[in-house]
Amino acid sequence: MGLSSMKGSEESEAYDAQIHLYKHVYNFVSSMALKSAMELGIADAIHSHGKAMTLSELSSALKLHPSKLGVLHRFMRLLTHNGFFTKTSTQKEGAEEEIAYALTPPSMLLVRSKPTCLAPIVKGALHASSLDMWHSSKKWLTEDSKELTLYESATGESFWDFLNKTTESDTLTMFQDAMAADSAMFDLALQECKHVFQGLSSLVDVGGGTGGVARLIHQAFPHLKCTVLDQPQVVANLPSSENLNFVGGDMFKSIPSADAVLLKWVLHDWNDELSLKILKNCKEAIRGKGKEGKVIIIDIVIDETGDDSKLTELKLDYDLVMLTMFNGKEREKKEWEKLIYHAGFSSYKITPICGFKSLIELYP
């Protein structure tokens, strides 16, 4: 290779590296554009319209200031490139051809009238308190405090304390809405894992919030007696029925007895020591059920060799969210296995569900 070729190769490598770096530096812009689209209700407007909308139609429906038409175009251009909308051409009689925007499967998840609406996830994940803490990451990483989360280092309080402030009840509602939205996706997964709940007569949904998942399971299995265990302030005043009951309590102290215990999106909030305590309480709750009893976990299993790059990136992003917000973690299979056996379970089974999560069944 001649000197000019070597130089050209080095330049090309440097340019590629620059593009890679800049892309990750400015990834937040795509997130903020998505947040803006959610807040404006762009997907709702197009869905209500019943067909693709031109920029002028969309601007009018969203009640934007006329001067922002060009701004809307540039937002839609990025959001379309990122797969949230698709462009088509439309032409009215006697008028020039115009570009119109239609929904795609990802933006359909932002339509609030749909049962599987993930708009609350966007709102919760991109809340100011979740973003501002990252400005304190250097301070946090140089602090000698093992148990302090990045959120605590930045704000002076834990995220749980922040949620439970009476003056911040709207934030608690936002968090509960986000969890309920995520639970709605479980309705799709339930079709592929119904066998997991067959043969059970009772189930405790630990950390089940306002009962989104428990209601879906109850609808699929009306005979199954479901109990939702969560903090007293979460389940207070929620109506119970014959086979759907709400109990205020502390999963670190005890869990009601049942054939099975469900832990959906719970253990990744906690470190290994606290997760072990929860799992031991779960094992105690099914102790009288013999081989018929089990614990059902729905959480992430990191698999860098088996998953594609896009899926791995999502799981690793979640891991840093859990670390910085709660001192929790997403776990690899070997980490799950260690935790499961230390809790005293004899065997387990992992089944991928919901696109990026896994269903883990534990047996005593």
Residues 118-144 pLDDT 10s: 998 999 899 888 899 999 999 999 988
Question: From the candidates 49, 135, 195, 268, which is the catalytic residue?
Answer: 268
Q: Does residue 6 lie within any of the structural domains?
A: no
72 contacts 64 by C-beta, under 8 angstroms: yes
pLDDT at 63 over 60: yes
Position 267, amino acid: L
CATH code, domain with 322:
3.40.50.150
Question: How much of the chain, in percent, has pLDDT values that exceed 90?
Answer: 68
Please tell me the least confidently modeled range out of 214-223, 233-242, 275-284, 352-361: 233-242
Distance CA 324, CA 316 (A): 12
Per-residue confidence at 344, pLDDT binned at 50, 70, 90? very high
User: Same domain, yes or no, for 70 and 103?
Assistant: yes
- Compute the chain's Rg from CA coordinates: 24
In the block, residue with structure tokens 């979740």: 130
- The CA distance from 258 to 229, in Å, is 12
Which is nearest to 46 in space by CA: 111, 2, 109?
A: 111
Q: Which amino acid is at 129?
A: S
- 58 falls in which pLDDT band (50, 70, 90)? very high
The pLDDT tens digits of the residues spanning 67-93 come to 999 999 999 999 999 999 999 987 776
pLDDT at 144: 83
Q: Please tell me whether residues 95 and 211 are part of one structural domain.
A: no
Q: How far apart are CA 177 and CA 164, in angstroms?
A: 15
CA atoms of 265 and 245, how far apart (whole Å) = 20
Q: Do 154 and 93 sit in the same domain of this protein? A: no
**pTM given for the model:** 0.88
346 and 183 Cβ atoms separated by less than 8 Å:
no
- Name the percent of the chain lying above pLDDT 70: 94
**Are residues 195 and 81 located together in one domain of the fold?**
no
On whether both 105 and 152 belong to a single domain, the answer is: no
Query: Is residue 73 annotated as a catalytic residue, yes or no?
Result: no
Confidence of residue 234 (pLDDT cuts 50, 70, 90): confident
Say how far apart CA 364 and CA 344 lie, in whole Å.
Answer: 7
pLDDT value, residue 362: 96
Query: CA 152, CA 329: separation in Å to the nearest integer?
Result: 16
CB 263 within 8 A of CB 295: yes
CA distances to 109, 113, 119, 178, 187 from 181, rounded to whole Å, are: 10, 12, 8, 5, 11
The H or E element spanning position 75 is: helix 69-81
Q: Say what the pLDDT of residue 112 is.
A: 93
Cα angle for residues 16, 76, 183 (degrees, 5° grid):
90
Q: Average pLDDT, whole number, for the chain?
A: 90
**Domain identity same for 130 and 210:** no
What is the pLDDT confidence band of residue 1, given thresholds at 50, 70 and 90? low
pLDDT(202) > 60: yes
Tell me, yes or no, whether 307 lies in a domain: yes
Please write the tens of the pLDDT for every residue from 165-195: 644 556 667 777 777 777 777 877 887 788 8
pLDDT digits (tens, 9 = 90+) for 96-108: 788 999 999 999 9
pLDDT tens column, 287-343: 877 667 999 999 999 999 999 999 999 999 999 999 999 999 999 999 999 999 999
Domain carrying residue 56: 27-109
Q: How many CA atoms lie within 13 A of 322 on its CB side?
A: 20
Average pLDDT over residues 246-257: 96
State the total domains in the chain: 3
Q: Is residue 33 part of a domain?
A: yes
Q: Where are any strands of DSSP class E within 155-312?
A: 202-206, 225-230, 244-248, 260-264, 294-299, 301-302
Q: Are residues 67 and 85 in the same domain?
A: yes
Q: Both 221 and 164 in a single domain?
A: no
E-strand ranges in the chain read 53-54, 85-90, 98-103, 202-206, 225-230, 244-248, 260-264, 294-299, 301-302, 331-332, 347-353, 357-363
205 lies in the same domain as 154? no
Euclidean distance between CA atoms 285 and 249, whole angstroms? 14
* 169 and 194, same domain (yes or no): no
pLDDT for position 342: 97
Half-sphere exposure of 236 toward its Cβ, with a 13 Å CA cutoff?
Answer: 4
Residue 35 pLDDT exceeds 80: yes
Domain for residue 12, yes or no? no
Q: Is residue 333 in some structural domain?
A: yes
Q: Using H for helix, E for strand and C for coil, what is the string for 318-333?
A: HHHHHHHHHCCCCEEH
**Which CATH number characterizes residue 60's domain?**
1.10.10.10
Q: Looking at 109, 143, 160, which one is the last position of a domain?
A: 109
- Residue 284 contacts by C-beta under 8 Å, 6 or more apart in sequence? 254, 255
Residue 313 lies in a domain: yes
Taking phi over 0 as left and psi of -120 to 50 as alpha, with beta for the rest, 99 belongs to beta
Coil, helix or strand at residue 237: coil
In a domain, 162, yes or no: yes
Q: Are both 322 and 242 inside the same structural domain?
A: yes
Position 10 in a domain? no
Residues 68 and 150 occupy one common structural domain: no
Q: Tell me, what amino acid is at 141?
A: L
Q: Quick one: pLDDT at residue 271?
A: 94
Between the CA of residue 337 and those of 255, 341, 357, what are the distances in Å?
A: 22, 6, 16
User: What are φ and ψ of residue 24, in 5° steps?
Assistant: -75, -30
The closest of 188, 231, 240 to 213, measured between CA atoms, is: 188
